[in-house]
């Protein structure tokens, strides 16, 4: 383990280089307004016919919330999201209706009035990156693929893929826990699981600062699991770089019950914990891509390039 950590420290992409070298150089500030706003992100993705969850409603003004009670009668299950939220904050996933009440993914019971109050908080900017104003997005709830659902606890699991210059370089499965209350975000208590970019099999699982092999709430094994629709997932992630033209990008996806990959959101400042979950650094991989003109490659060739780089012995797991 000590040798692994020493090797990782030499290959690790640090916060300063991520901010001042990659984000500053490859991510135009003008495009942040797209990836930081879920409604604008979906428009950019749909322009390239990339798969996303169906939009049920968008609330932009407080007076529009009065329509929620009537509109929600048509939605057996749904998800409320702040358009400019981050880290999973402010997301409420309704998984069941009981008379006039709504059952959320974390097991809590909400009334229509409580959800209207939550919508009002979103519009007031409580969960917004700018903390001044926001829009509320209501989407159809995604039913995850049974294999992914089995690995998570009461929450939608997702796959984060780091894409650099259109080339997917590293992936991590994130699953929810009891402590994370249905969110797969790592800072909320979710688990990060490295994924072999070539095979799509899970490798190492990280919970907080501890390596684990089984889910703490379900005892389900987390390592050595073959993720569904792997090549299609990587192809979709690579195409997202064409939708927003960001050089350094985090793409969050999931796979639904029909084995269809769906894009959840994009991130112009993806975190670096993915390196720990994979027990490998991004720095050498990024430097190798920088030496090539990958932007001129077809999507399938960009995916193949990323997989070939991580498979080389000089970039070992």
* Residue 316 resides in a domain: no
CA dihedral (55, 254, 83, 100) in degrees, to 10, reads 60
Q: Among residues 115, 205, 114, which one has the least CA distance to residue 157?
A: 205
| Cβ 90 vs Cβ 79: under 8 Å | no
Residues of the chain with pLDDT > 90, as a percent, come to 82
Start-to-end CA distance of the chain, whole Å, equals: 13
Residues 299, 154 share a domain: yes
Whether residues 82 and 231 share a domain: the answer is no
CB-based contacts of 288, cutoff 8 Å, min separation 6: 309, 315
Residues 75 and 47 in one domain: no
**Which of the four pLDDT bands, split at 50, 70 and 90, describes residue 315?**
very low
Instruction: Report the CATH number that the domain containing residue 136 is assigned in CATH.
Output: 3.30.1490
Give Dmax (Cα) for the chain.
Answer: 60
Indicate the pairing of strand 191-195 with strand 167-175.
antiparallel
Q: Are 160 and 239 in a shared domain?
A: yes
174 touches 164 (CB < 8 A): no
Hey, is 140 helix, strand or coil? strand
pTM of the model: 0.93
Whether 12 is in a domain gets the answer yes
Nearest to 97 by CA among 76, 73, 68, 74: 76
> What is the distance, to the nearest Å, from the Cα of residue 278 to the centroid of all Cα atoms in its chain?
16
Same-domain pairing of 43 and 187: yes
Q: What is the pLDDT of residues 88-109, one digit of tens each?
A: 889 999 999 988 899 998 889 9
> How far from chain centre, in Å, is Cα 19?
20
Asked if the structure places residue 251 within a domain, the reply is: yes
Length of the chain: 317
Q: Is residue 92 part of a domain?
A: yes
Whether 283 is in a domain gets the answer yes
What whole-number distance in Å separates Cα of residue 260 and Cα of residue 245?
24
Do 178 and 48 have their domain in common?
Answer: yes
Triad 156, 160, 163: Cα angle to 5°: 155
Two tokens, residue 25: 């150089």
Residue 170 lies in a domain: yes
Structural domain count, the chain:
2
Query: Which of 131, 120, 124 shows the shortest CA–CA distance to 36?
Result: 131
pLDDT tens digits, 19-43: 988 999 999 999 999 999 999 999 9
Confidence at 296, pLDDT banded by 50, 70, 90: confident
Provide the mean pLDDT of the chain. Answer: 92
Q: What is the pLDDT of residue 4?
A: 55
Domain boundary among 120, 140, 160: 140
Q: Going by C-beta distance under 8 Å and a sequence separation of 6 or more, which residues neighbour residue 191?
A: 174, 175, 177, 205, 206, 207, 212, 215, 216, 222
Query: Is there a domain that residue 317 lies in?
Result: no
Q: By residue range, what is the domain housing residue 176?
A: 2-52+145-311
Residues 283 and 190 in one domain: yes
Given 94, 119, 140, which residue is the final one in a domain?
140
Task: Tell me which of 6-20, 113-127, 234-248, 263-277 is least confident.
Answer: 6-20
Domain boundary pick from 140, 162, 181: 140
10 and 73, same domain (yes or no): no
Residue 114 lies in a domain: yes
- Secondary structure of residue 9 in the 3-state scheme: helix
CATH number at residue 252: 3.30.470.20
Residues 91 and 34 in one domain: no
> Is 36 in the same domain as 164?
yes
Q: Is the pLDDT of residue 316 over 70?
A: no
107 and 251 in a single domain? The answer is no
153 shares a domain with 62: no
């Amino acid at each position: 383990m000590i040798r692994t950590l020493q090797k990782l420290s030499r290959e690790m992409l640090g916060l300063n280089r991520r901010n001042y070298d990659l984000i500053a150089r490859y991510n135009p500030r003008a495009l942040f307004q797209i990836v930081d706003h879920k409604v604008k992100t979906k428009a950019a993705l749909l322009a390239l016919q990339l798969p996303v969850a169906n939009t049920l409603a968008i609330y932009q003004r407080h007076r529009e919330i009065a329509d929620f009670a009537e509109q929600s009668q048509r939605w057996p299950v749904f998800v409320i999201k702040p358009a400019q939220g981050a880290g999973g904050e402010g997301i409420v996933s309704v998984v069941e209706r009981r008379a006039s009440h709504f059952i959320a993914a974390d097991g809590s019971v909400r009334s229509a009035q409580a959800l209207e109050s939550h919508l009002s908080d979103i519009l007031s900017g409580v969960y917004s990156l700018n903390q001044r104003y926001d829009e509320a997005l209501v989407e159809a709830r995604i039913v995850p693929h049974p294999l992914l659902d089995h690995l998570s606890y009461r929450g939608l699991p997702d796959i984060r893929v780091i894409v650099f210059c259109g080339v997917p370089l590293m992936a991590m499965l994130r699953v929810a826990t009891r402590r994370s209350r249905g969110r797969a975000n790592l800072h909320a208590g979710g688990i990060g699981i490295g994924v072999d970019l070539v095979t799509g099999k899970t490798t190492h699982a990280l919970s907080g600062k501890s390596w684990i092999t089984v889910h703490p709430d379900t005892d389900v094994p987390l390592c050595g699991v073959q993720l569904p629709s792997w090549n299609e997932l990587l192809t979709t992630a690579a195409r997202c770089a064409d939708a927003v033209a960001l050089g350094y990008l985090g793409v969050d996806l999931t796979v639904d019950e029909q084995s269809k990959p769906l894009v959840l959101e994009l991130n112009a400042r993806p975190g670096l914990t993915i390196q720990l979950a994979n027990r490998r650094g991004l720095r050498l991989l990024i430097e190798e891509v920088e030496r090539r003109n990958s932007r001129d490659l077809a999507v399938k060739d960009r995916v193949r390039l990323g997989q070939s780089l991580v498979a080389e012995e000089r970039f070992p797991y």
